[in-house]
Chains A and B, each alone.
Chain A
Amino acid sequence: MGTEIFYFLIFPGLLFSGVIGGLLSWFDRKITARVQFRQGPPLFQPLYDFVKLMAKETLIPLRGSVTTFILAPVFALFGATISAVFILLPVLGVETGFSGDIIVIVYLLNIPSITYIIGAFASGNPLAAVGASREMKLILSYEIPFLLVLISIIIKSGMSISLTEIIAYQSANGAFIGSLSGIIGFITILMCIQAKLGFVPFDMAEGEGEICDGMIIEFSGSILAFFKLTKYIMLFILPALVAGLFFAGLPLNGINILWSLLKVLLVVLLITLIRNTNPRVRIEQAMKFFWIWMNLFAVVSIVLAIIGL
């Protein structure tokens, strides 16, 4: 019992993934600033933001549903933390997962998005409702290619549905990014996590210019801080999952720590560069992109995996 609580609260759960996610969020903002020839925020900026938000007043909207409104960010944080534990334990090589944990991870990764939607509808704001409906459509679009890429990974690793076995297979036979189907699958999953994180070009659920931060418009104070922490954690665990699926995991022994760090930074760098060089697309353009092109990519990846490329 004690180890489980340690896993959940300290390593690799809430504290560890929150701190690393905060640093990655600083990395993301710094790269964004450098791309725009700016100086960028200081290193501890995510910490300042979080503490400031925790200390501020929390306002409850008059027409909202109070309990759901307050509990939605808490459940988002729970969902992100539990998926952090399930992803990071096998990926960091701390403990082996169980058979079928990759399916559990797919479900758990959806909890933050779904609680965003529930919280947005509970706030009773029309702009939040617009954002929530867009997020719902976005989930419908990116989930199918995400699952198809996982199927391609499962086929390549000899029909194993445990993250530990997939990583062990890659350590023995070379990382999946080295093969043609792996490259195509990597491009697809990069787009999917871009949409999962709600970054440009798929940030239509939080469009700052048009619907004023969309889903989180009514959230303030500590519950907004919970949403921010959820975003930090997601910014760490999704690249970690990609590193586990394509780059043979993130082992934490000896010089491998450096390689693990570089793998995560590479994925975050790619996400940030995509975010900085693209405009926001409309929701039907995003659906078309995922349903036609990304599904096509994922199916091609599956076919190539079956014929062994």
Chain B
Amino acid sequence: MGFKESCFKKSLWVFHLSVGSCNNCDIEILDLLTPRFDVERFGMKLVGSIRHADVLLVTGIVTKKTKPRLLEVYAQAPKPIIVIAIGACPCTGGIFASGYNFAGPLDKVIPVDAYVPGCPPKPEAMIAGVVKLLKAKGKQ
């Protein structure tokens, strides 16, 4: 593992994109920035523009309306980018899986690196998911 990769893992800038969530996962993501969890210890921070991001957090089911937007945002992201599906909705569709506007789980639309299920997942679960992903990336 080179110096560049270790720098990448220590400075993950996060862009979060809601493609049709109920806003609950988004609030749990913002919880990560509070004094109780404080992910800035690991160099993570939220950025306002996808051009600066290293991690794309996707919350909510991918609807037919938001699918083209999601693809556009993914195309605009500078590579390498990590995609993490937060919550039950982007992982499987959750309780909306049989909805008329459901456009398939997230990994049918864009490649996904990690799944954090839960409705909503706890902040601890999100941190654990990212840690497991980074460990797996280090072994490759």
Contacts and interface: CB of A to CB of B under 8 A. Distances in A.
Interface string A43-68: 00101110110011111000000000
A216 B49 CA distance: 9
Main secondary structure of the interface of A (DSSP, over half): loop
B36 to A, nearest CB: 9
Interface stretch (B4-12, B20-28, B105-113, B122-130): B4-12
Contacts of A208: 47-48
A58 B7 contact: no
Contacts of A59: 51, 76, 78
B123 to A, nearest CB: 14
B69 to A, nearest CB: 15
Interface of B: 3-4, 7-8, 10-11, 35, 38, 40-41, 43, 47-49, 51-52, 54, 76, 78-80
Nearest to A49: B11
A249 B51 CA distance: 40
Contacts, number: 78
Given A49-B11, A56-B78, A42 B41 contact: yes
Contacts of B47: 208, 213
Interface of A: 29, 33, 36-42, 45, 47-49, 51-52, 55-59, 208-209, 212-213, 216-221, 224
Given A36-B35, A213-B52, A55 B41 contact: no
B51 A218 contact: yes
A122 to B, nearest CB: 14
A33 B78 contact: no
A41 B43 contact: yes
B48 A29 contact: no
Given A37-B35, A58-B78, A48 B48 contact: no
